[in-house]
Amino acid sequence: MMTISRRKFLKTTVSASAALAAPGISTRYAFGSEDPIKVGSLLDQSGAIASSGVTMVTAMEQGIAEINDAGGLLGRPLKLIQYDTQSNIQLYSQYAQQLALKDRVDVVHGGITSASREAIRPTFDRFRVLYFYNVLYEGGVCDRDTFCTGTTPAQTVEKLVPYAMKKSGKKAYIIAADYNYGQITAKWMTKYMQDNGGEVLSVDFFPLDVTNFGPTISKIQEAKPDLILSALVGGNHVSFYRQWQSAGMKDQIPIASTTFGLVNEPSTVEAAVSQGIYGCYGYYEELDTPESKAFVEKLKKRWPQIPYISELTAATYEGLYLWAEGVKKAGSLDRMKVIEALETGVSYKGPSGEVKLDPATHHTVRNAYLAVVEDKKWNVLETFKAVPPSDTASVCDLLKNPADNQQYVIDIKA
């Protein structure tokens, strides 16, 4: 009942907006091939999430400049329209409407937190704008209009947990940020602990503004785990690692994290705090491949003080190129044609290695790297080639259900 009425609504809205769009389209083609292709981008350049957002904007600018230097796409130059969402969800919705209805962009890359993605995704579905989300997240988005190019828990947590268990022991204590990413990641951690014959002593969640971890550290000591699994997020939560080290726990119980180092934590906290923390991501600045080195050099030339180039930045860059590959293959900017071209399994060899779009989930098959912090830098220990997004694949098949557009909470059977 509901779906029918909504679909009807979508149809009418779209035809209404198409009628409104008509003058814009005709002028665009009247301008001929010199009229630029508009690439929309929504990233936080101020506020609490800016530390992630600003380097991602640099990657977007770099990618667009490169494509333009190489002659653009379909003979037309690209033009970046980036709005600073100021770490404010309401502005995400507002600018999403602006990109879709006023600027009439051909694609949007952006969104950082899952909350921001869920706020803007319906807007792009409704007004038929192709959308790329280039951030590692909890998985489960199943939407034909949306492509998610970052890693999901099945690609990273699955590798991280057994490795950390091997190095420490079978009893883990999980601490995570108290929102969806943390909650769902903690479930995956629990699953992989149990799959590998381990045991989870306790799972604690922390609001993003908690800065005093004293009671938690005492609680952890009381539980006596062999291993800490952390999915803490943001500047305030860095306090945990500092307080953990200052309590002298650092050398007693090792930490493995799915979030530490995503911004530039290893270089901002002192070596004693970060030494020996395990992580598993889709990209590190220290990665020793020609593509990675060239990428790092280019970004540092564009912005010499760039704090750190993490998976967020690399995936943003690769997301842009994957879209460009799709446009080339489709030979058109038409949204459906580009989606169909991308669904043929387009791939791109980027800084993190070969990245291939998975047609059924609109996620990526990509490399994952296990690393440990040594002297404020990541030392890559193991490389896992072409890891599929099997978590999302367990709930999502867009080839069978192309009309699907929700985010599934994956039922994790531990």
Q: Which of residues 266-295 bind another protein (CB under 8 A)?
A: 267-270, 272-273
CB of 56 vs another protein, minimal distance in Å: 12
CB nearer another protein, residue 163 or residue 244: 244
Q: Which is nearer to another protein, 207 or 331 (CB)?
A: 207
Q: How far is the CB of 131 from another protein (least distance, A)?
A: 13
Distance CA 404, CA 407 (A): 9
Site for another protein in 100-119 (CB under 8 A): 100-102, 113-115, 118-119
For residue 320, CA distances in Å to 107, 282, 316, 412 come to 10, 16, 6, 32
In the 8-state DSSP scheme, what is residue 33? G
Contact predicate 392/410, CB 8 Å: yes
Write the CA distances from 165 to 96, 159, 177, 278, integer angstroms. 43, 10, 22, 11
Interaction of residue 91 with another protein, rule CB under 8 A: yes
Task: Give the Cα separation of 173 and 228 in Å (integer).
Answer: 5
Instruction: Give every CB contact of residue 76 below 8 A, 6+ residues apart in sequence.
Output: 33, 34, 35, 36, 37
Q: What is the rounded CA–CA span in Å between residue 171 and residue 220?
A: 12
Q: Which CB sits closer to another protein, 199 or 209?
A: 209
Question: Of these, 9, 22, 27, 402, which contacts another protein (CB under 8 A)?
Answer: 9
Query: Is 15 a residue that touches another protein (CB under 8 A)?
Result: no
| Touching another protein, residues 245-264 (CB under 8 A) | 245-249, 252, 263-264
- 291 vs 374 by CB, closer to another protein: 374
Edge-to-edge strands, sheet with 146-148: 78-84, 37-43, 107-110, 130-133, 146-148
Q: How far is the CB of 213 from another protein (least distance, A)?
A: 8
**Residue 414 DSSP symbol:** -
Q: Please, which of residues 142-171 interact with another protein by CB under 8 A?
A: none
Provide φ and ψ at 37, rounded to 5°: -80, 130
Tell me how many residues contact another protein (CB under 8 A): 92
Task: Pick between residue 205 and residue 384 the one whose CB is nearest to another protein.
Answer: 205
**CA 60 – CA 344 distance, rounded (Å):** 24
Q: How far is the CB of 119 from another protein (least distance, A)?
A: 5
In the numeric block, the tokens 């799959």 are attached to 195
Member of 11, 20, 27, 294 binding another protein (CB under 8 A): 20
Instruction: Please name which of 150, 115, 140, 143 lies closest in space to residue 129, comparing C-alpha atoms.
Output: 143
Is residue 27 close enough to count as binding another protein by CB under 8 A? no
Nearest to another protein of 163, 240 (CB atom): 240
Contact region for another protein (CB under 8 A) — 158-166, 177-185, 353-361, 391-399? 177-185
Kindly identify the residues of this chain, within the stretch 51-70, that bind another protein according to CB under 8 A.
Answer: 51, 54
E strands, 59-157, are 78-84, 107-110, 130-133, 141-143, 146-148
Sequence length of the chain is: 414
Nearer to another protein, 189 or 357 (CB): 189
CA pair distance 253, 242, nearest whole angstrom: 14
Considering only residues 216, 257, 259, 310, which one is a binding residue for another protein as defined by CB under 8 A?
216
- Binding of residue 18 to another protein (CB under 8 A): no
Decide if residue 222 touches another protein (CB under 8 A): yes
- Judged by CB under 8 A, which stretch of 50-58, 62-70, 153-161, 163-171 contacts another protein? 50-58
DSSP E strands in 93-206: the ranges are 107-110, 130-133, 141-143, 146-148, 171-177, 199-206
Residue 367: what residue type?
A: N
**The only residue of 35, 77, 79, 180 in contact with another protein, by rule CB under 8 A:** 180
- Cβ atoms of 176 and 183 within 8 Å: the answer is yes
Using CB under 8 A as the binding rule, the residues of this chain from 371 to 410 that contact another protein are 406-407, 409
Q: Which member of 74, 201, 210, 380 binds another protein (CB under 8 A)? A: 210
CB nearer another protein, residue 229 or residue 341: 229
Binding range to another protein, per CB under 8 A, among 40-48, 277-285, 290-298, 379-387: 40-48
33, 170, 195, 211: which one binds another protein (CB under 8 A): 211
**Coil, helix or strand for 6?**
helix
Tell me: does residue 178 bind another protein (CB under 8 A).
yes
Q: Which two tokens stand for residue 285?
A: 């600045």
